[in-house]
Structure 1
Amino acid sequence: MEHNNVQELIKLGASQVIHNKEGIPFVAISSDYKLVSIEDYLPHPIKTRQYVKMNTVKSFIEYVNRFKNPHTTIFADDQSHLFKGIIDFHVSQDEPRSGKHTVEYGCPLSREWEAWQNRNNEKMDQTSFAEFLEERAEDIVSPSGAELLEIALKFNVIRKAVFGSAMRLNTGEYQFTYSEDNQKGTVELPEQIKLGLAPFHNGEKYEVKAKLYYRLQEGNLLLWYKLVEPERVIEDAFYEVTQNIQVGVGDLMVIEGKSLTC
């Protein structure tokens, strides 16, 4: 290995610097007529080439502020929820830069958002629905977690119940009648619940409405929910992150779009 390095240095030493590309010197090797960069033999690289992915908005802002220059540009892509900062962005049309020093932040979804999104519009039997409410009770703002836990407990108790009818009460609740072991009873469920969810990991929480639906079929009860305009919540959360980044990086340009070539 050392022998090869020595031979390469001998070749370079016998060559002549013939070209500079963005300040990087190249030499022509006479034996095979190819251009070779000698940047690796300099005390330090001439250009920064670095691709970094950050896990938080705070670290993204800190990294940009550490290395930024007046031409550093940030692209905010609301389709992929990705922020890309190009530290060495072009000065002007007449002064292009390599754009090889970049940093990204991808707005990862929170676990609670994924939990509700994954089961959105999924029909569940009463037991599965009750268990889901128990698991996610801390996300529910209205009715209170205690009220929904009480409903979930009742659904769990009447696992083998046969449901006969359902009606919508003046209070805006659904009332289901059931029979089990020759005993009859009713259980109520709200028509809509309100959630407090942070769409992005470590982000701000937003109020998200979920409408509840049901189907009675041969004595079996199916329940499910539909999140109301979850896309709009994501859009609002992304806009909020964009604003926070703009404030954090000061006068740097934050563009709504995607960088495809850098």
Structure 2
Amino acid sequence: MSPEIKIDAAELLRNQQLPFPLTREIGPTVQPGDERRVFAVPDGWNLQTRDTEELLMVPRAKRGKATFQTLASFVDYLETHAEFGSTVVWVKLDPMTAALSLRAVIDDHSREVPHWRRHTAEYTPRHSVEWKTWSDANGKARAQGDFAAWIEDQLPDIASVPGLPTGADMLKLATDFEIRQEMSIKSAVRLQDGGVRLNYVADSDTGTVSQLEVFNRFAIGIPVYWGCDRYQIEAKLRYRAKEGKVVFWFELVRPHRIAEAAANDLIDQLDKLVSERNIPARILFGEM
């Protein structure tokens, strides 16, 4: 038995060996060569369909997925490619976590005509290093010396707010913490302003008392998203004394509200830029 012969119809097409197609359909761009052909070949050969789009100078339509790191680049891409009546920006905002993502479908369905939805652009803002650093440390107790060192590392994030400690105040507090980290706490007195006065004694000289006043609140100014504006967040300074030693931590005040505000501000910026540049794109909340 002779072996089965398999011939590629595309190769025959190129070599003009199949001049009589059974069907011939002109492609949507009506460019020369933009067509689909179906050929009948002898027994033992394969019947194949070949799309000649790859032979064209340009594809029939735009398609692809672009991913961006900044809102500015995302909007620039929209301005270049948005199509009147068929470009939609889908905004997805999680009300529990304030996680935000933007997905533009350049060739989305219009009122009159369906589209392929194969040309998209996405922007998912990434949390800043500062936001992750403070969020990860939120509520975690540290020994006095470790807490002092951590505060020193984060001093650039301390915000100057009337009535709350400045960066210099926090640095002094951290330094005092380090000086007294080998001492034992004798007592703690709550002050009228909400702070606390800690009385320390050295193990070798229990008669000498050293005092340290600790703030009860401070503020930080950090960006929620990388490359975006900073937001003010208040933090409560907490402590716990046990067996003569003290541990400290902080608790951010309603950080989810700050994250939500940052997400809404980005959405407002998107809406403003689309309007100012007359970009033909609809902004819808949801996903598809």
C-alpha contact (below 8 Å) 1:29/1:36 kept by paired residues? no
d(CA) in 1 for partners of 2:265, 2:27: 41
Report whether the alignment pairs 1:124 with 2:124.
no
Shift of 1:22: 6.7
Greater CA drift, 118-127 or 168-177: 168-177
C-alpha contact (below 8 Å) 1:166/1:177 kept by paired residues? yes
For 2:12, the equivalent position in structure 1 comes to: 10
d(CA) in 2 for partners of 1:175, 1:68: 62
The percentage of counterpart residues that share the same residue type is 23
C-alpha contact (below 8 Å) 1:73/1:87 kept by paired residues? yes
Q: 3-state DSSP class of the match of 1:215? A: strand
For 2:182, the equivalent position in structure 1 comes to: 160
Cα deviation, 1:66-100, whole Å, max 9, x if unaligned, reads 111112110111124111111111113x5211111
C-alpha contact (below 8 Å) 2:9/2:39 kept by paired residues? no
d(CA) in 2 for partners of 1:49, 1:196: 41
Q: 3-state DSSP class of the match of 2:49? A: strand
Change (3 A) 1:211 1:64: same
d(CA) in 1 for partners of 2:35, 2:194: 76
Q: 3-state DSSP class of the match of 1:154? A: helix
Change (3 A) 1:43 1:185: same
For 2:193, the equivalent position in structure 1 comes to: 171
C-alpha contact (below 8 Å) 2:87/2:105 kept by paired residues? yes
For 2:229, the equivalent position in structure 1 comes to: 204
C-alpha contact (below 8 Å) 1:215/1:221 kept by paired residues? yes
d(CA) in 2 for partners of 1:19, 1:130: 75
Q: 3-state DSSP class of the match of 1:116? A: helix
**TM-score w.r.t. structure 1 length?**
0.88
d(CA) in 2 for partners of 1:34, 1:185: 91
For 2:247, the equivalent position in structure 1 comes to: 222
Shift of 1:162: 1.0
C-alpha contact (below 8 Å) 1:26/1:36 kept by paired residues? yes
Q: How does 1:1-262 map to 2 (within 5 A)?
A: 8-11=10-13, 14=18, 15=21, 17-18=23-24, 25-28=35-38, 30=40, 31-70=45-84, 71-79=86-94, 80-92=99-111, 95-141=113-159, 142-180=164-202, 181-182=204-205, 183-250=208-275, 252-259=281-288
C-alpha contact (below 8 Å) 2:9/2:49 kept by paired residues? no
d(CA) in 2 for partners of 1:124, 1:258: 42
d(CA) in 1 for partners of 2:283, 2:26: 32
Q: 3-state DSSP class of the match of 2:103? A: strand
d(CA) in 1 for partners of 2:125, 2:247: 34
Letter in 2 for 1:125: A
Which structure shows the higher strand fraction?
1
d(CA) in 2 for partners of 1:69, 1:97: 11
d(CA) in 2 for partners of 1:29, 1:224: 76
Shift of 1:166: 2.0
Shift of 1:253: 1.1
d(CA) in 2 for partners of 1:44, 1:200: 38
d(CA) in 2 for partners of 1:32, 1:170: 91
Shift of 1:17: 4.9
For 1:3, the equivalent position in structure 2 comes to: none
d(CA) in 1 for partners of 2:27, 2:286: 29
d(CA) in 2 for partners of 1:91, 1:42: 27
C-alpha contact (below 8 Å) 2:71/2:270 kept by paired residues? yes
**TM-score w.r.t. structure 2 length?**
0.81
Shift of 1:195: 1.2
Letter in 1 for 2:82: K
Q: Based on CA coordinates, which of the two structures has the bigger radius of gyration?
A: 2
